[in-house]
Structure formats: structure tokens, C-alpha cells
Structure 1
Amino acid sequence: MRFTPQVRDLAWLVERPIAHRGQHDKANGNLENTESAFASAIRNNYAIECDLQITAEGDAVVFHDETLERVCEAQGMVKDFTVKQLKTYSYRIGKDRIQTLGELLDQVDGRVPLVIELKSHWNGDDALARRALKVLEPYDGPYAIMSFDPDLVAAVAEYSPYTVRGITADRAVNSYYNILSIDRRLEMRTFSHLARTRPHFVSFYFRELPYAPVQRIRAAGHPIITWTIRNEEQARLARRYSDQITFEGFAA
């Protein structure tokens, strides 16, 4: 579903706190980005943030890391496995299995908003954006797509201009970004990609606010979401400069 009216009115995106990778609680066997974590968020009427990775056959699965080993009893790159193979791997805790995007949509069924992050391999491949848009096309619930990678957000803008989209961002100074060229890092740091990404909102690292480019975007009427908020004190700080928080580890 393409939310043409909601591009003009994004109140639904920021009306409730956003559970980071679902409402997870590792200590109680409820792991991030799983059916259990999403069920908990739905019960408590939180919006859901989640992550997508691409699989070997080009499907989209709900998973944060490029590799399996941090949360699964398996090793290797997610992109090197089919959905069928991924379904055979157990998480390190709990009884859930990796979900496809389609399975997540069936579970949520429009009850809360979804804020879906496309994870990037920074190689210019927009297959994940195309797959996510195809799966989301018939979905009637509220959702938005975002990514750190301007190329993926630009792809969403090109293929489905009325889909609500955002840039996930920080000041791009972390050593992680050394894998990118200086030009790409500067583009992300200065938001000079805006002409091609045309985001409806920004999801920004709260510890690096206030930040002039983000504040200008907010002043122009675009919502700002902050991440990742882990207690009430951080929430109070984040809300000075943003319209909603993405949280984990406490009841927002």
C-alpha cells in the first residue's frame, strides 16, 4: 500500500514510542527481531522497528546482523543462505525462528506501525529495496522504510515515490564508516543526498543531537526519530530534539 495521504501527515509515525527490534528481553528468553519480541510490542501498543537482510534467493528476512553467529547457533553471512536453510537454525535463546518479511506482516496485521530498516552491504545493489516493496505492496497497515544507505532510500524513492521513507543516520564519524569512500561519508554527514533520497523523516542517533542538518530538516516539517534510548533520562534528552524515540530495555 502506498500511503499518499500519510506522506503529508506523518502523525501516525510518531504518535507512540517505537520498540527497537521489537520489545525484546534477552534475560527472559525474548530475543531481538523475533516473533516473540514483536508480539510483546503489539500487546503493549508500541510501534515496531525491525531490520531486513537479503537472502541467497533474494527474499527479505527479519535480521539485524550481516552474519548469524551473534544471535544464532550458526555461522556465516545471511545473504549466503536461503530462507529454507535459515529456518533450520536456532536462536541462541528462545524457540523462535527467523521470519521473512511476509511472515512479519502476517503477524502484525496492521495493529501497530512498522518502521523497517533495510540493511546495506554498501555495494550499490538495491535488490533488498525492490523485494521489500514487492512484499509490502498489498499490506494495508501503516509502515515506513528507512536505511543508513542513501542509495537504498533513493531506490525506494524511485520505485515507489509515495512509500513513506526515511534516512537512518548519525554524524558518520565512527570507524565503521571507514569502509566507505570519503565522498560517501561526507554525503551522509552533510545530508547532501537529500535531492535524490527525498526522505519524509530522519531516524538519528540521539547522543549526536543537536545537529544543524537534522534540525533544519525538522524545521521544514519532517519528523525526527531518535535511537536507541535505554532509560527515562535518555528519553527526556532525546525528546528535546526529536518527535519520537526508538527504545529498548525499559517501558517507554
Structure 2
Amino acid sequence: MSSPNSTAAPAWLTARPIAHRAYHDAASGRVENTLSAVRAAIDRNFAIEVDLQLTADGAVVVFHDDTVDRLLQASGRVDAMSLASLKATAFRQGGDTVPTLAELLETVAGKVPLVIELKSNFDGNRRLEAAVAPILAAYAGPAVVMSFDPDSMAVMQWLLPSIPRGIVADRYTDLDEWGYLTPRQRFALRNLSAVPKVGAGFVSYDLNGLPSFAPSMVRAGGLPLITWTVRTREQAEKARLYTDQITFEGFDPDQG
């Protein structure tokens, strides 16, 4: 299913386990997607998966949720807060502040690879891609980008064609999360129909949706298939049957 316009996934993508939102453990003060969790992943030589989105004033920050309620001592949407407001708001655990993409790259500095997810509301807004592309263009370390939204990767293909791109997908059966998409959209996304169009070099598919036809065909066609989120050694064993690498949290895959 590869495309002549694709940028091949690097060999490192399948060489080392990928720490989901970095190597986090909130009980130990390492909150997800923070620099403390990033440094812990570097110490263990894990690749690092992170999430990017924009603040109200256009800064690119490393944060997963649409709202800050779960992690910060505040409430509201990330895209409704300025960078200064986010930086001034403490996490509920640990001593970090919300990092920017620039701070992440400065911390990692090529020591381990980065698997960078661009968050999307499927609304056609491409300000995030426009902000991310020049920052990544100036970064010399190993990195790939990916998104649930194929249009996001199509834009990155145009803005920064040298960086490998991936599609993230699941079964799209949770209508609380995906109900704003049409059945046709969910079908196309679940079956990875945009992989050739956006020149994807790899796919990251929900472990709960494996095995299934579309990711199996992608892998048979030569594209690396990684999976998320692997939280136990038992799940890691399942993942090894159907995929080329795991995105993990909650345990150390190098132990035992």
C-alpha cells in the first residue's frame, strides 16, 4: 500500500519500544508529555511518542487532551489558553510545566527518536501543521509525524516532504469519541484508505483493533505497523504477533 510519494519509515521506528507520551509515571512525579517523562525515556533509550496542539496565541505545546482539566490545576480548553497561562498553571502532580515543541526538541537533542502526533479536530484548520513544519525542519534529530487525520498528513507532505509520515487509526466504534464523523468517514479511516494518498510510510493502529484486515494488508505490503497502547507484558506478546513495534506505558518492556 505504499505510494511513490511516500517517505519511507526509518529503521529506528521498529528498533526500540516507543514510550507513550514519554516514559511517564505520575506517582513518581513524571506526568505524561512532560520533560521529566522525556528525560526518563532518554535514560532508558526508548523512542518517545508525544502529542502536539496549539495554544490560543499559536504556540505549539506538548499536550494530549483537548482540555487541561485532567492534568492541570485549572479547567478549560488548551486552545483557549495562552502559552503564558499554561506555563503559569501547575500540574496536579509533579513539578513540570507544559513544554513547548521547541523545549522538547532542545531536551531530546537527537538522543532518541521522536514519534510526533499532530492532534486534529477534523475541521480543516491547518494552523498546527503550519506552525510545526518550520520547527521540525530545523531539527536534526530523528523524528516522524503522524495523525488520525489524513488531511493533516497531506499538508505535512506538502510543507515538509522530507519527514516520514504515518496514519494513526482504530476501529472508530466509540461514538462518544468519533460520532461527529460520518459512517463513511469512519469506514475509510478504519480501513486506512488514505495511506497511499498521503504517502504514509507507516501505520500506528490501536491494539484493540488487531488483528484485522486493513492493518494486516498494510504490513504485508511492506509498511511498518506499530501499535498502541500496550500496558502489560501480555499485551506486548499479542502485539508481537501482528505488529513490528509497540507504543507502551505503565511497565518497562526491557524488564522480564
Same fold, TM exceeding 0.5? yes
Match of 1:170 in 2: 170
Letter in 1 for 2:36: S
Match of 1:147 in 2: 147
Number of residue pairs aligned between Structure 1 and Structure 2: 247
Match of 2:161 in 1: 161
Q: SS of 2:229's equivalent?
A: strand
Contact 2:119 2:147 in 1 (8 A): yes
Task: Give how far 1:77 is off.
Answer: 0.7
Contact 1:10 1:223 in 2 (8 A): no
- Distance in 2, Cα, partners of 1:112 & 1:10: 13
Match of 2:201 in 1: 200
Identity %: 46
Task: Give how far 1:207 is off.
Answer: 1.9
Farther-moved stretch of structure 1 (213-222 vs 185-194):
185-194
Aligned ranges 1:23-102 → 2 under 5 Å: 23-102=23-102
| Shift in CA distance, 150/7, structure 1 to aligned 2, threshold 3 Å | closer
- Distance in 2, Cα, partners of 1:246 & 1:195: 23
Which runs of no fewer than 5 residues in structure 1 stay unpaired? 1-5
Task: Give how far 1:248 is off.
Answer: 0.5
- Distance in 2, Cα, partners of 1:155 & 1:113: 22
Q: Structure 1-normalised TM-score? A: 0.94
CA deviations on 1:112-164 (whole Å, 9 max, x unpaired) are: 00000111122111111121111111101000101111111111122222211
RMSD: 1.3
Letter in 2 for 1:230: R
- Distance in 1, Cα, partners of 2:222 & 2:197: 18
CA deviations on 1:169-216 (whole Å, 9 max, x unpaired) are: 112111111111223212202222234222110011112111111111
Q: Structure 2-normalised TM-score? A: 0.93
- Distance in 2, Cα, partners of 1:109 & 1:10: 18
Contact 1:145 1:165 in 2 (8 A): yes
Determine which structure has the larger helix proportion and give its number.
Answer: 1
- Distance in 2, Cα, partners of 1:177 & 1:27: 31
- Distance in 1, Cα, partners of 2:154 & 2:53: 18
Match of 1:3 in 2: none
Which runs of no fewer than 5 residues in structure 2 stay unpaired? 1-5
Farther-moved stretch of structure 1 (183-192 vs 124-133):
183-192
Aligned ranges 1:129-148 → 2 under 5 Å: 129-148=129-148
Match of 2:3 in 1: none
- Distance in 2, Cα, partners of 1:190 & 1:65: 25
Asked which structure has the greater RCO (Cα within 8 Å, sep 6+), the reply is: 2
Contact 2:7 2:199 in 1 (8 A): no
